[in-house]
Amino acid sequence: MSTGDLVQFGVNVLSLGSLYALMALGLVIVYGILRLVNFAYGELLMVAGYTLYLLGGGPLPWLVMAVLAVLAAVATSVATELVAFRPIRAKSLTAMLITSFAVSTLLQNAALLFISPRARLVPMPEVFSESVSVAGSLVPVRNLLAIGVSVAMLGLFTLLLKRTVLGIALRAAASRFRMTRMLGVPANLVISVAFAISGLLAGVVSLFWLGRIGSVTPTIGLEPLLVAFIATVIGGMRSLTGAVVGGYLLAVVDGGLNLLLPAYLLEFRDAFTFGLVILILLARPEGLVRGPASGLRAG
Amino acid sequence: MGTGTVLRLEDLHVGYGQVTAVRGLDLTVEEGELVALVGANGAGKTSTLLATAGVLTPTRGRILFRGQDITRLPPERVVALGIATVPETRDVFPDLTVRENLRLGGYVRRRDRAGCARDLEALCALFPVLGDRLDQAAGFLSGGEQQQLAIARALMSRPQLLMLDEPSLGLAPALVDRVFDLVAGLRREGRTLLLVEQNVRQTLEIADRAYVLELGRIKASGTPAELAARIDLASAYLGAGRAATPGATAR
């Protein structure tokens, strides 16, 4: 492998891994508090995508459209919790799980009905299709941006969780939800903030995810949801660090298989990935990073 | 020391599903008093405390805090009004540092940053083990240290009423004495406390008044001297149907 290949491989894995890590984090922040795998999570990317599509061709500069798209994902995430999850939160976890499927289907069908089942082009800035030369090999600027933005988001997120009272409350609620409330932290506040962060992460990821594909479809959320889910399972559902580790690891595995598998096996890459996931889970059923001692879920 | 009723429970009923744990309990805590709630396992002590804290919703009766009805308030509102609780399970946040645990204890007065920082320092002086381990994860503390952290965390909210649920539970005998000394110390500082305990003997040594609970009802109440004269405390502690052992202490 030449230096150029190595740089390209590194940038690919890092940019993909950064996106995977953010997606996994968005899933796990809600799971940590509600023990709910939010299956409507992928649709948040879809909502951001269609917001971009609807705003495209308008007078707004791209960056403004991007911010609005991210805000649309945040708003959808918070509204979903408010309308769909909050009324049944105290009842049962199964009910919430099924509700999350329902929300997912509802949002997809809304896109089918009101927009189109066919792919719609989303506006992307020119810089997303440019490349720069790094150590003698061409690297898409988009990938470098993905790495930069993700690392900045992870840094910001860590700061929020470690330094602010609200962040500390979020971490506390993930292990002892009742006690967190008994110290004065409103349950609804913690849960709304978790969903808002989840939406923010999904929105930011969607910009880069769509940047790779260039268009949005009603079912675009499925793959990111799956990726986030696998990454959290590898890394450990109970740990935020685990989600990030799992995200990057999954990208390394995917990238490595792309490189190592012979061409006639490449279309079965996912089978190999899942096989590896099974092996990891056999060795460490809780995932690679163990979370805090289990507490009761929020009710 | 001021005067006035801090907490008043009227005809309190608390149940889980089909089971009624508390059946018609009346109790008052006056300003500056250390009131104890003693009784056997399953007598309804913890349910009474959790209902007051807003965690359990009473099926009947009223809970008044300084005359205000708080019967149906959620826990976050109750603590904001000035009632802090140290639950039986302690519930320190294991993956948060000692400092973060304490900081969260001051959540209801988080805007008063300077005051919180001062209180944190004062509490570290009161609990030197915590001061030495501020940046360690609370999950690494021993049982006794976690109990101290749970009490310190509750004090961070500057409560007008502090409720402690079996603070001596599961501790080594030497530590049990320290916890009772500590609670007595809080009482001397003029704090108002509601203490739930199974360790009847040591509790009555420090309490101003006590209520003896049996199967969800109050069997007796009064000052420790009055109670000692009136009933067989050992049997109240052990509960009905079991032989009384003189001088029994909790676990």
Q: Which amino acid is at A261?
A: L
Q: Which amino acid is at A262?
A: P
Q: Which residue has the higher pLDDT, B79 or A8?
A: B79
Q: Name which of A182, A186, A292 is nearest B85 (Cβ-Cβ).
A: A182
Contact A183 B105 (CB under 8 A): yes
CA distance A15 to A97: 31
For the residues of B73-106, what is the DSSP string, one character each?
Answer: --HHHHHHHTEEEE-TT----TTSBHHHHHHHHT
For residue A290, what is the nearest residue in chain B, using CA coordinates? B95
Tokens of A244: 């990030």
Contact B93 A179 (CB under 8 A): yes
Give the dihedral sign, CA B40/B41/B44/B48: positive
CA distance B60 to B46: 17
Please tell me the distance in Å from A244's CA to the nearest CA on chain B: 18
Q: Name which of A165, A172, A179 is nearest B87 (Cβ-Cβ).
A: A179
Per-residue pLDDT of chain B (251 residues), as tens digits, is 456 899 999 999 998 878 889 999 999 999 999 999 998 888 899 999 999 999 999 999 999 999 999 999 999 999 999 999 999 999 999 999 999 999 999 999 999 999 999 999 999 999 999 999 999 999 999 989 999 999 999 999 999 999 999 999 888 888 899 899 999 999 999 999 999 998 888 999 999 999 999 999 999 999 998 888 776 655 555 444 343 344 444 43
Which residues of A, range 139-198, sit inside 8 Å of B by Cβ? 165, 168-169, 171-172, 175-176, 178-187
pLDDT greater than 60 at residue A294: no
With an 8 Å Cβ cutoff, the interface of chain B facing chain A consists of 53-55, 74-76, 79-80, 85, 87, 91, 93-96, 100, 103-105, 107-108, 110, 139, 153, 157
Query: Which residues 6+ apart lie within 8 Å of B122 measured at CB?
Result: none
Q: Name the H helices within A130-164.
A: 141-163
Query: Which residues 6+ apart lie within 8 Å of A47 measured at CB?
Result: A72, A73, A76, A107
Chain A hits for B157, CB-CB cut-off 8 Å, are 183-184
For the residues of A179-239, what is the DSSP string, one character each?
Answer: HHHHTT--HHHHHHHHHHHHHHHHHHHHHHHHHHH-EE-TTTTHHHHHHHHHHHHHH-TT-
pLDDT value at position B246?
42
| Residue burial A236-275, b: 16+ Cβ < 10 Å; e: rest | bbbbbbbbbbbbbbbbbbbbebeeeeeeeeeeeeeebbee
Q: Which tens digit of pLDDT belongs to each residue from A98-156?
A: 999 999 999 999 999 999 999 999 999 988 888 888 877 888 999 999 999 999 999 99
B4 and B66 in contact (C-beta within 8 Å)?
Answer: yes
Size of interface A-B (CB pairs under 8 A): 72
Q: Which tens digit of pLDDT belongs to each residue from A196-212?
A: 999 999 999 999 999 98
ipTM comes to 0.88
The C-alpha angle with vertex B190 and arms to B189 and B195, in degrees rounded to 5, equals 95
**A127 Cβ under 8 Å from any chain B Cβ:** no
Please tell me the distance in Å from A163's CA to the nearest CA on chain B: 9
Tokens of A159: 């700061």
CA distance B115 to B121: 10
Q: Name which of B54, B55, B107 is nearest A183 (Cβ-Cβ).
A: B107
Q: Which residues pair with residue B164 across a beta bridge?
A: B86, B195
Please tell me the distance in Å from A39's CA to the nearest CA on chain B: 27
Q: What number of CA atoms fall less than 13 Å from residue B39's CA on the CB side?
A: 26
**A87 Cβ under 8 Å from any chain B Cβ:** no
pLDDT value at position A75?
98
> Contacts for B224-229 with beta carbons within 8 Å, 24 or more apart?
B228/B204
Contact A171 B96 (CB under 8 A): yes
Chain A hits for B159, CB-CB cut-off 8 Å, are none
